[in-house]
Structure 1
Amino acid sequence: MTPRRSRALAGPLALLVAAAGLFSAPAAAQSAADVAVAREIFIEGSEFAKQGRWEQARERYERSLAIKRAPITLYSLGVAQQQTGQLVEALESFRAFLVEPSAPATREYERLARHAVEDLERQVSALELRLSPGDVAGLVVKLDGGVVPAAALDRPRPLNPGNHTLSVSAPGYREVRRSVAAAPGSRVLVVLSLEREAASAAAGPRALTVSAPVGAASSPAPDDAPGRVVPIALIAGGLTTVAAGAAIGLLGVASASDAPTRDGEAADAARAQALAGDIIAGAGLVAAGAGVLVLLLDRGAASAPDRQAPPRAALGPRGLTLRF
């Protein structure tokens, strides 16, 4: 126990004598039974204080004070809080004791309480919190799990020396947690920048929108679809026919190379096969070319302002027919 802290201590016998007078007259709103219970719990607390069991003494003083508010209980609670490291709470208990009306039974403790207040004001730390942005709606600040009132956020907050946990949260922002170490009598400045949550997380699932690159060809309108089916089919079929004819021609060339003589049935059959491949490939090229031509005509007609309708292509028994 430090010399400064011992100033506020008083002998248990003196406290019991003071309690006997202050607990004798019940308040108007309290029954005699309540006052008797409060006195009994206070005496238990004083016995624990005499033994140096300050945690138990503090708990008894708190219970007694909850039943009946008495100046001597405030003073005794302040001593127990000071001994258990609750300096902020002890400071307020001594201040509350000093604002009570002076009475002969407690007058000797007033000087000790003033010295205790002076010592505690030098030992208590302070926390100053600065937030950016500072005008966030729904802001919740917690210190060691307890909510700090919004009206008190712009003032330094008294803090017991030691380690503390600070958390800041708000709708649409990520929660921020910090560990704060406060030395006795220090002023701790904590600056926090609140970050918004990701747009996808805040807004929820979004529909996937796929857009074509600038300059890409758009899908044909329903009215233009029939006119483009035939030329596209001609181009695709023509290219397929070219590939087939080329394959047949290559087989014919290979067969001619394998023939035992340049004349004879085997050589004649191979040359005929190569010729057939050339003919098929040529027909495919013609069909593909016709498809390209029709597409070009369709585009030219669609871009001409004086045409009522683009030419249409139809494939009938007599071949490819263009209709204007």
Structure 2
Amino acid sequence: MKPFFVFATLLLTAASVHAQPAPPTPTYDPSAIAAARSLGVEGVRLADAGNCQEAIAKLERAERLHHAPTTLGRLGECHIALGRLVLGSEQLQRVVREPLAAAAPAAFVTARARAKRTLDDVLPRIAKLHVHVEAKADAKPRVTLDGEPLSAEWLDIDRPIDPGAHTITAAAEGYAMATSTVTLAEGERSEVNLGLTPTSEPRPEAPPIEPSSPKLHESEPSARGGAAAPKPEPNFPPASKEPSPWTLHRTAGVVALGVGGGAVIVGSIFGLLALDTKGKLDDVCDSGKACPPDQNGRISALETQSVISTVGFVVGGVGIAAGAILLLTEPPSTTKPGSALSIGPASITWQGRF
């Protein structure tokens, strides 16, 4: 009976394997392959000429159309040449680990060998950054690295990172923001410790309210036993039905100055943001040449910040000028002294100003 059970087990296993769906076959698109080959050749030519900034755009498009170890390998080398060691090395790792068919072109085999030699040189150059955030257990810190969110999985471990300057910030509700900037050399490891300190303090207790002494009513006798003195009627000046012209004039001037000052502040803030964004673009974009596609977001942000800054300064200048003119041209008071009429035994006199 034992051979029968063995045979039945093998039969069921074969049936289950046969029932599993086969892996999808990659779509063969001759047009995409031809276009990728043309873009790849142009990208390699630019890379050989030392123009990796433009070469990356060509090689990335070629790789999206059709993957080839020759294209991906040169793309990784260009990223490394521009200082993106982590991204470039991972692309080379894919070329090295990708299995090649027995009948693979000789160019693919050469590309894999070249990628392995480049990896042996670049891997020791990658820096490592260890970030630790010190905060209370109830705090939920938000950490950023060079302006990008850094998830909690990256805390308290060595993160591979490109050499250069990096800014790390940590913030949480009710805590003061902590910031640190570190500059890493090639192959250097650095630790950054950010401590969050609470900013909210307990509110002071309000002082007790002392009971006020009771006031005597007008009809009640005073403390000396006599009748209370009559309470004098308050003498309020008559309310003006409408503000005088000079008050409206001055109010308009102050409002214009306030609006102008606020607009100048907004223009200054967005001007500083535009300068910072332009500095980041200058770091990755060669002068007079197109920026890589991954910088399109920063380019749009730079345009928006520049427009807001310009509008802020224009509105601020107009508002400040208008406010100053209104205040300097304030009309004088129009109040005139009153007139008087006097009657004597033999005369009648009128005094007044017209």
- TM-score range, shorter-chain basis? 0.5 to 0.7
The letter of the residue matching 1:147 is: P
Contact 2:180 2:194 in 1 (8 A): no
Give the whole-Å Cα distance in 2 for the aligned partners of 1:139 and 1:236: 72
Q: Under a length normalisation based on structure 2, what TM-score does the superposition of the two structures give?
A: 0.49
The letter of the residue matching 1:44 is: E
* Residue matched to 2:208: 212
* Residue matched to 2:121: 119
* Residue matched to 1:4: none
Distance change >3 Å, CA 71–CA 237, structure 1 → 2: farther
* Residue matched to 1:259: none
Distance change >3 Å, CA 211–CA 76, structure 1 → 2: same
Distance change >3 Å, CA 218–CA 123, structure 1 → 2: same
SS at match of 2:121: helix
Q: Is residue 77 from structure 1 mapped to residue 75 from structure 2 by the alignment?
A: yes
Give the whole-Å Cα distance in 1 for the aligned partners of 2:221 and 2:175: 55
Instruction: Return 5+ residue gaps in structure 2 as ranges.
Output: 1-24, 230-354
How far residue 96 of structure 1 moved from its aligned partner, in angstroms, is 1.0
Contact 1:77 1:90 in 2 (8 A): yes
Find 1:143's aligned residue among 135, 142, 145.
145
Give the whole-Å Cα distance in 2 for the aligned partners of 1:181 and 1:68: 38
Q: Is residue 58 from structure 1 mapped to residue 25 from structure 2 by the alignment?
A: no
Find 1:198's aligned residue among 193, 197, 200.
200
Find 1:45's aligned residue among 43, 46, 50.
43
Mean Cα deviation higher: 48-57 or 136-145 = 136-145
How far residue 156 of structure 1 moved from its aligned partner, in angstroms, is 1.2
SS at match of 2:95: helix
Distance change >3 Å, CA 232–CA 72, structure 1 → 2: farther
How far residue 85 of structure 1 moved from its aligned partner, in angstroms, is 1.4
The letter of the residue matching 2:112 is: E
Identity %: 28
* Residue matched to 2:88: 90
* Residue matched to 1:315: none
Q: Is residue 189 from structure 1 mapped to residue 178 from structure 2 by the alignment?
A: no
Contact 2:166 2:181 in 1 (8 A): yes
Give the whole-Å Cα distance in 1 for the aligned partners of 2:63 and 2:170: 33
Contact 1:136 1:170 in 2 (8 A): no
Find 1:163's aligned residue among 152, 162, 165.
165
Contact 2:165 2:181 in 1 (8 A): yes
Contact 2:69 2:112 in 1 (8 A): no
Give the whole-Å Cα distance in 1 for the aligned partners of 2:84 and 2:110: 24
Q: Under a length normalisation based on structure 1, what TM-score does the superposition of the two structures give?
A: 0.53
The number of residue pairs the alignment matches comes to 200
* Residue matched to 1:3: none
Distance change >3 Å, CA 37–CA 104, structure 1 → 2: closer
Contact 2:129 2:158 in 1 (8 A): yes
How far residue 151 of structure 1 moved from its aligned partner, in angstroms, is 2.2
